[in-house]
Structure 1
Amino acid sequence: MAVSGGSDSVALLYLAHGWAVANGRPLTALHVDHGLNPDSRIWHDRVRELARRLGAAFQSARWDGPWPATGLPAAARAARHARLADMARAVGARIVLTGHTADDLAEARWMRAEGTPLGQLRDWSPSPAWPEGRGLMLLRPLLGERRADLRDWLGGQGIGWIEDPANVDLRYGRSRARQALAHGAGEDAAAVPRQNRPLRTAAVTADDQGVIRAPRNADPRALAFGLVVAGGGARLPRGDRLARLTERIAAGETFTAGLAGARLIAEAEGLTVVREAGDYRRRGEPVLDLVPGVETVWDGRFTIMADEAGWQVAPLVGRAARLGREDRAIVADLSAAARPGLPVLIRDDGTGPVLARSRARVEALAACRLALGLGQVEHEADLKCRREWRTDGRAPIL
């Protein structure tokens, strides 16, 4: 679980520790030192000592910037999630607990009303870090609890916590929200709805090549996330551009459009979303060196691990004519729209291209990412959506 040392995370650490002991489960405290406060090393040591007293394992990471001149809270949040994801993967965890409370829900709603583009907090959601957080879920068991009640409970137990001065620094939106709510502006935290109703997304699916298909009446939020997944990125498309697309879909138009690194193909029978090959021309091709035995995330859409040295991975676009006969036969059976974005292996000496799945272990990330992000996975026991291709390029491993 993520432990900053503040009251909410300390309370959850004690509660989670009691649950872990009772259920025979390991617990690791993950701490991110943002380096933004001169006392941050002291906070790190206090959290480490707290974990030691409880018998929990401890992992920490530091963010040393670069710190932006504007948008510091968002940058710090992104850095925190990326480091939490890296640490969770290192210890073999699939779930990270966070101490968000009903007060955080109220603060986030106040900030959205002021124009801050924050997402909805849910009890159970995928890590927002990509690709670091692939396959990793966040669980927020305290969303129904008030911060004041947790502090009363801690005080009754004689347990202290860290007060971060940034929480009262009115340069930051979160601090302004706390002050406004403390003076009666906006909604009471206990009255804020928890926004946990899942999207109706059973018909939004992805196949082994990362091709996403959806009905024309798909929820726009599900479509937006599908575009992000197909494009391999992490940022949702702007609302105005997405609104124009959904208007054209609702009007019954058939068309093709690019957005968020993805290509949307709107046909009478439904929607298809694939990687936009033209995006490679605009941004440059994602060509990466592969280290034997090391899993590499390529284009935000596949993990690839080769056994041999000397390979690079690149997109198929512009290279299809040089494939061998067997690889051409495999490609011919696949969706034409998906072919340009398939990963191939090449060497500096001109060897290749060969389909990556013919020479390496390849995992397509789209289906799992889509299922997690659209709320189609409801329980820890269901986090088994890994799907790879054997090095013969054909039969999938489940």
Structure 2
Amino acid sequence: MRRLIEPDLEARVCARLDARLSRNIDAPVCVALSGGGDSLALLQIASVWAKDRGRRLLALTVDHGLHPLSGEWTAFAGAQARRCGAEWRALAWQGPKPETGLTAAARLARHRLIADAARHAGARVVLFGHTADDVDEAEWMRARGSTLGRMREWSPSPVWPQGRGLMLLRPMLAERREPLRRWLGPRGSSWIDDPANDDPRYGRARARLALAGEAAAAVGSARRPLLGDPPQAIDGEGFRCARQVGRQALAAALVCAGGGEAQPRREQLQALMSRLASGEDFVATLSGARLEAKGPDLAILREAGELRRRAAEPLVLQPGTATVWDGRIELQAREPGWAVAAAQGRMAQLSDLDRACLSRLPAPARASWPVLMHEKSGPVLSSEAVSVRGLTAQRLRLALSRASGETTHEDDLRSPADGEGPWNPLCLGAEHMDRRSGDDCWTTEDINEPA
């Protein structure tokens, strides 16, 4: 009976998993499991794939606490995961819920919880069960003013810094929702139908109602902005690119340099693109980044003025725990007493050598550069007691990976590109420029070679 209904579905999805995921490694593959029909079909197919390819499968279920039956739904998802032989973990969205924008807040919380859990488990890829119907519904909502992003088969986690180095894979994005349920039926599987999916107060439900009975839109038919020449990493955790950079690449570079996670608004980005097309030289700020257009080139760096306005306290580092500062730098202290802050307002306290090193950066990047401080001493650019890793170059590479074709497989996440290994962006001193110190510092080749 099973082979008479959607006989090729399992083979198609497994082929997409094979194209992206590694075999016979210890790191688990995670599955976002809500208990709905789409995620349940993905769980069952992925469990067959994982057993045949020597991988562990970890299902992650988020209880949003928004429905009286949410606890029962979570328990049902756990039972389904165990039935398939997968590991399972329940996650809960705790704390107060917003009165407005609840759907977007719930989506953001879900991604953050899943990203944290996946990284803690050592996973690099999370599977999501989105389908072609989700693509059509999102397009319908965007046409009516929604700010939903476009779903792609292979894309970075949308949350930062929780999702750093984590990719999302949607292997059923070309499949339709109803055939998945027809595939589940003969397998004796039931699933959860969230009442919110039929509640017209929610945009997703209105989209489903509007699209019901209409001819399905062609998957991927929406025009994707061109990348142009991709931005190249430069000193200062920033980027340089040509004035003709594509809209998608420019938006990604601004977000990465700024260290945040929210994409620039469409009208703001379009206004910036118009200024670039005019050929004028100018300085602008957007998404926490500073853009300098001069002649044919652009430089994109962190906007130091935002750090000054925010006036954040130094971030205390907990020994043995990786901490992300300003969305751009990951630090891990080997001993207590260390903190990190912006160089702005502290440059005069640096040694002559450190100030000379800092002067090698582009002038706009110096104030937003991080310095280390110990409770018993003043600020320094680097210390053997703190390992440091810049995040912006790899983040941009992953953000543009689908369009550029550069990062297409889980192996690429485990084997960083040249210049992206563990290095210390605080090691700018002359004594560090021609040698490595435990693979923590730049060499001259690392500094000049784009990631």
Tell me whether 1:355 sits opposite 2:385 in the alignment.
no
Number of the residue aligned with 1:368: 394
Give the C-alpha shift of residue 356 in structure 1: 4.1
CA distance in 2, matches of 1:391, 1:374: 23
Number of the residue aligned with 1:301: 328
Give the C-alpha shift of residue 312 in structure 1: 1.6
Give the C-alpha shift of residue 342 in structure 1: 1.3
Instruction: Find the partner of 2:300 among 266, 269, 273.
Output: 273
SS in 2 for 1:338: helix
Give the C-alpha shift of residue 347 in structure 1: 3.8
Give the C-alpha shift of residue 282 in structure 1: 2.0
Are the aligned partners of 1:316 and 1:342 in contact in 2 as well (CA < 8 Å)? yes
Number of the residue aligned with 2:219: 192
Instruction: Find the partner of 1:327 among 337, 340, 354.
Output: 354
Which of 374-383 and 96-105 deviates more? 374-383
Q: Structure 1 unaligned segments of length 5 or more: list them.
A: none
Aligned pairs for 1:199-348 within 5 A: 199-200=226-227, 202-207=229-234, 209-285=236-312, 287-348=314-375
Number of the residue aligned with 2:4: none
CA distance in 2, matches of 1:19, 1:197: 31
Number of the residue aligned with 1:389: 423
CA distance in 2, matches of 1:325, 1:269: 35
Are the aligned partners of 1:2 and 1:96 in contact in 2 as well (CA < 8 Å)? yes
Which of 257-266 and 2-11 deviates more? 257-266
Give the C-alpha shift of residue 208 in structure 1: 5.7
CA distance in 2, matches of 1:132, 1:248: 34
Instruction: Find the partner of 2:209 among 179, 203, 207.
Output: 179
Change (3 A) 1:335 1:246: same
Instruction: Give the residue type in structure 2 aligned to 1:369.
Output: R
Give the C-alpha shift of residue 202 in structure 1: 4.9
Are the aligned partners of 1:98 and 1:140 in contact in 2 as well (CA < 8 Å)? yes
Instruction: Give the residue type in structure 1 aligned to 2:329.
Output: F
CA distance in 2, matches of 1:56, 1:196: 38
Change (3 A) 1:33 1:237: same
CA distance in 1, matches of 2:69, 2:235: 48
Give the C-alpha shift of residue 209 in structure 1: 3.3
Tell me whether 1:169 sits opposite 2:237 in the alignment.
no
SS in 2 for 1:143: coil
Which of 56-65 and 297-306 deviates more? 56-65
Instruction: Give the residue type in structure 2 aligned to 1:221.
Output: Q
Instruction: Give the residue type in structure 2 aligned to 1:31.
Output: T
Are the aligned partners of 1:288 and 1:314 in contact in 2 as well (CA < 8 Å)? yes
Instruction: Find the partner of 1:94 among 124, 128, 131.
Output: 124
Change (3 A) 1:357 1:251: farther
Are the aligned partners of 1:8 and 1:147 in contact in 2 as well (CA < 8 Å)? yes
SS in 2 for 1:337: helix
Which of 277-286 and 289-298 deviates more? 277-286
Number of the residue aligned with 1:157: 187
Change (3 A) 1:322 1:21: same
Q: Count matched residues.
A: 394
Are the aligned partners of 1:205 and 1:370 in contact in 2 as well (CA < 8 Å)? no
SS in 2 for 1:388: coil
How large is the RMSD of aligned CA atoms in angstroms?
A: 2.0
Are the aligned partners of 2:388 and 2:426 in contact in 1 as well (CA < 8 Å)? no
SS in 1 for 2:363: coil
Are the aligned partners of 2:308 and 2:344 in contact in 1 as well (CA < 8 Å)? no
For 1:257-310, what per-residue CA distance to the aligned partner results, in whole angstroms no more than 9, with x for missing partners?
111111101111411111111112222235211111211110011001112211
Number of the residue aligned with 2:136: 106
Instruction: Give the residue type in structure 2 aligned to 1:284.
Output: A
CA distance in 2, matches of 1:41, 1:23: 33
Which of 357-366 and 224-233 deviates more? 357-366
Are the aligned partners of 1:364 and 1:387 in contact in 2 as well (CA < 8 Å)? no
Number of the residue aligned with 2:111: 81
Give the C-alpha shift of residue 322 in structure 1: 1.6
Instruction: Give the residue type in structure 1 aligned to 2:171.
Output: P
CA distance in 2, matches of 1:38, 1:127: 29
For 1:74-107, what per-residue CA distance to the aligned partner results, in whole angstroms no more than 9, with x for missing partners?
0000000000001101110000000000100110
Which of 246-255 and 83-92 deviates more? 246-255
Instruction: Give the residue type in structure 2 aligned to 1:388.
Output: P
Number of the residue aligned with 2:86: 56
Instruction: Give the residue type in structure 2 aligned to 1:299.
Output: D
Give the C-alpha shift of residue 359 in structure 1: 4.6
CA distance in 1, matches of 2:140, 2:374: 54
Change (3 A) 1:251 1:199: closer
CA distance in 1, matches of 2:163, 2:235: 20
CA distance in 1, matches of 2:396, 2:313: 22
Instruction: Find the partner of 1:25 among 51, 55, 62.
Output: 55
Query: How does the TM-score come out when normalised to structure 1?
Result: 0.94
Are the aligned partners of 2:236 and 2:301 in contact in 1 as well (CA < 8 Å)? no
Change (3 A) 1:47 1:2: same
Query: How does the TM-score come out when normalised to structure 2?
Result: 0.83
For 1:311-350, what per-residue CA distance to the aligned partner results, in whole angstroms no more than 9, with x for missing partners?
221001121222123323322333323221111112455x
CA distance in 2, matches of 1:108, 1:26: 32
